[in-house]
Amino acid sequence: MRLVLLGAPGSGKGTQAARLKDHYAIPHISTGDLLRAAVKAETALGLKAKAVMERGELVSDDIVLGMLEERLSESDTASGFILDGYPRNLAQAGALGEVLARIGQPLDVAVQLDVPTDLLVERIAGRAAQEGRKDDTPEAVRTRLGVYNEQTAPVVDFYREQGKVTCVDGVGEMDEVFDRIVTAVAEATD
């Protein structure tokens, strides 16, 4: 199973990917997690990405693609993967298509998690209070939502044109959303 999770910040991509990876027994690849690990380890890449992430903007396409290609080349992706947080713009969607064609692993399905904006803001505020993530400040969240609407939303249409999108209601208990995703994926890949 090769699956992409799409959705605004706070829509539950990371939350659901963590469950889906156990369900399908495939790795969860989050570009946000990879970037946060690089920031924490203070690698050259992490030092470049830190300020950009804290503002809520997108890290450059080159950096993220390099990181992703490295991760996809690891042997555990042979049986599939869940991509969370990539692609985030049309250039990344094109690059992903090329990489996957090259390694002979085309995407099966893109799952779009739908959550209204006021609930996104509420969820992220909850995480800010618990975890204190630097990009969960109200100002960075506004930027992230703007970036999503301008740059990431068109990616949904990109996959829709390829007949690969399935939309799932992301409002409700986490288990309920999980069940909806598994059902939608089964229908879309039948």
Nearest residue to 148 via CA among 68, 63, 85, 98: 85
CB of residue 15 to ligand B4P, shortest distance in Å: 4
Span interacting with ligand B4P, options 39-47, 50-58, 72-80, 98-106, rule CB under 6 A:
50-58
**Cα dihedral 110/108/96/44 (nearest 10):** 80
Candidate residues 2, 3, 4, 13; the one interacting with ligand B4P per rule CB under 6 A: 13
Active site residue 19: no
Cβ–Cβ < 8 Å for 85, 32: yes
Active site residue 142: no
Q: Should residue 26 be labelled a site residue for ligand B4P when binding is judged by CB under 6 A?
A: no
Active site residue 71: no
Active site residue 102: no
What are the counts of helices (DSSP H) followed by strands (DSSP E) for the chain?
Answer: 9, 5
Nearest residue to 85 via CA among 160, 16, 169, 184: 16
Active site residue 13: yes
Span interacting with ligand B4P, options 25-33, 70-78, 100-108, 161-169, rule CB under 6 A:
25-33
Beta pairing, strands 28-30 & 165-169: unpaired
Q: Should residue 177 be labelled a site residue for ligand B4P when binding is judged by CB under 6 A?
A: yes
Q: Should residue 32 be labelled a site residue for ligand B4P when binding is judged by CB under 6 A?
A: yes
Task: Give 45's strand partners.
Answer: none
Q: Should residue 14 be labelled a site residue for ligand B4P when binding is judged by CB under 6 A?
A: yes
Q: Should residue 141 be labelled a site residue for ligand B4P when binding is judged by CB under 6 A?
A: no
Q: What is the DSSP letter of 148?
A: I
168 vs 149: CA distance, rounded Å: 18
Q: Which residues bind ligand B4P (CB under 6 A)?
A: 9-15, 30-32, 35, 52-53, 56-59, 64, 85-86, 88, 92, 123-124, 126-127, 135, 144, 172, 174, 177
Residues with active-site annotation: 13, 88, 127, 133, 144
